[in-house]
Amino acid sequence: MSMVKVAVFASGKGSNFQAMLDADNLPCEIVLLVCDQQQAGVLDKAKQHGIETFVFSAKNYESKEAYESEIAEQLRKKGIEWIFLAGYMRLIGPTLLEAYEGKIVNIHPSYLPAFPGKDAIGQAFEAGVEETGVTVHFIDEGMDTGPIIEQVAVPILANDTKETLQKRIQAVEHRLYPQVIRELIQK
């Protein structure tokens, strides 16, 4: 039996992408990395693992619909069933949402609905709260909204800096995302 094929979308350094590659018994094959930043560190990780990439610049397209149609075509051609967002810093539009309804999942470094958007770890740190977390959720048209699949709380310690907090949150992400992906795909 052939494995379920998935795509990962990322914009940054790709530590979550790496965690998926390193995970044991992931019941899927990552066949494509979609990336909107020509210089992103995640591209080197894909290259090292021989994973095909689709890199684009949004500014070269006249609309979100235009680049998402091209992405959707690539995904279709490769028989991709699921999309996992791993630090992809763009909102997904109706083109992909309709093509992959209920099959697009995001990870976010806060206990949503608290601290959506950019720099969620910095936002929580600055807010002086005692706890933040990690959320994995299905996406909708909003920013870090959509039905929650799994959440883990992460305490903010008295002697934390933003960097130590980020390290702890990312360690949770790297464990949680492969685990949720496994459960979703095996259902």
What residues act catalytically?
A: 108
Of these, 4, 8, 9, 16, which contacts ligand GAR (CB under 6 A)? 16
Pick the closest to residue 17 from 187, 186, 178, 182 (CA basis).
178
Alpha helix locations (H) across 23-161? 41-48, 64-77, 94-99, 120-127
DSSP class of residue 2 equals: P
| β-pair type (52-55, 131-138) | unpaired
Name the one range near ligand GAR by CB under 6 A: 13-21, 49-57, 64-72, 155-163.
Answer: 13-21
With respect to ligand GAR, which residue has the nearer C-beta, 56 or 137? 137
How many helices and strands in the chain, by DSSP H and E? Answer: 6, 7
Of 8-16, 30-38, 72-80, 151-159: span binding ligand GAR (CB under 6 A): 8-16
Residue 120 binds ligand GAR, judged by CB under 6 A: yes
* Distance separating alpha carbons of residues 85 and 123, to the nearest angstrom: 21
Q: Which residue in 4, 7, 9, 14 binds ligand GAR (CB under 6 A)? A: 14
* 93 is a site residue for ligand GAR (CB under 6 A): no
96 or 120: CB nearest ligand GAR? 120
Q: Choose the binding region for ligand GAR from 1-9, 10-18, 146-154, 178-186 (rule: CB under 6 A).
A: 10-18
* DSSP 3-state of 61: coil
Does 107 sit near ligand GAR (CB under 6 A)?
Answer: yes
